[in-house]
Amino acid sequence: MNIGNILNKLDDRLGIWIFKNNNIFSYNLFSYFYEKNIINPHSDLIENYKKKGFYKGPKIKLNLIEKLKDLIKNQDIKKNTENFALFKWNKDLKEILEKIILNDLSKTILQLQEYYNAKIILTHARIQRNFGFEKKELDEKFSDNFHNDRWLFTYIKLFINLEDIDLDKGPTHIIPRDKSSDFVNVANYKSRKNYKNINYKQTYINTGNIGETLIFNSSICLHKAGNPNINQTRDMLMLQFSAIPSENNKSLEIDKLNIKIDEAALGEGDNLSYKHSRPYGFYTTLKLYKRFKKNLDYIKNIN
């Protein structure tokens, strides 16, 4: 085994041993120092987002949700081998997405920019339908075992209910961040395919009404997609954002909303999220952290 493989194995194992989650050690280390040195300690999000790793966001206007649902209802979709299907974006759907982001979510994005001391961009948007199936133990279809998304702390997910979601619909399950260590111990968690499938009472289950939103950090919260009952489905609009360092300090206006919808964010792939929130290797991750820190020093100097 070469030195690269050894380092990769250590990066994988040390995450669960030291930080008590399923993310890799180097990304956890990035998160630790980002929270210690860069986030705004006076942000309103400290008590919920930092402590728990998630919070309920604003409700989206129902007329926008209904328009979106009307546009997708005639699309011919088929579930894939992972038991979900993605709807196709078009011009009309993109216009609705722009209204949701620039109007209903504008305050939320500004709060996140203040918290991260960085600009927030949209890296991926998908309209997804999960299909129910008969789950056997820890067999997995669509991320329905507890895991962390192996991204940086600067990667943010926002879920929008496109229908009323109850337990039959397979809502998302999240282990609150401050309960992560306890869950890992109680469930004897080793990996997403090696843990006791227990009914952990502190799990947050994202049930809710149509139009309700949830913002959560999937890199630091163990979570899983719920499995809808047989013959049931769950429809969600899922938005993924990334905090990014500025290439030019003049564009560091984190008190202003400047979200643009890149066409690359509307494809099936997640290339923008990979570009901004999934660096390869310790050195690249360190360089990215230093860029965020340089931005923060600039912000402090001008204030």
Predicted confidence band at 143 (pLDDT cuts at 50, 70, 90)?
Answer: confident
Radius of gyration for the chain, computed over Cα atoms and rounded to the nearest angstrom: 19
pLDDT tens-place string over residues 56-111: 999 999 999 999 999 999 899 888 888 899 999 999 999 999 999 999 999 999 99
Write down the pLDDT at residue 258.
Answer: 83
Q: Is a pLDDT exceeding 90 seen at residue 246?
A: no
Q: Residue 107 has what pLDDT? A: 96
Which percentage of the chain shows pLDDT scores above 90?
Answer: 73
Q: pLDDT at position 137, please?
A: 82
Separation CA 1–CA 194 (nearest Å):
24
Please state, rounded to an integer, the average pLDDT across all residues of the chain.
91
Q: Is 247's pLDDT higher than 80?
A: no
What pLDDT score was predicted for residue 177? 96
The pLDDT value recorded for residue 303 is 56
Confidence grade of residue 3 (pLDDT, cut at 50, 70, 90): low
| Average pLDDT over every residue of 270-296 | 92
Lowest-confidence region among 82-91, 203-212, 229-238, 241-250: 241-250
Domains and CATH numbers, the chain: 3-302 (2.60.120.620)
Whole-prediction pTM: 0.93
CB 170 within 8 A of CB 128: no
What pLDDT score was predicted for residue 81? 84
Q: Give residue 301's pLDDT.
A: 64
**What was the pLDDT predicted at 78?**
87
Mean of pLDDT values over 140-162: 94
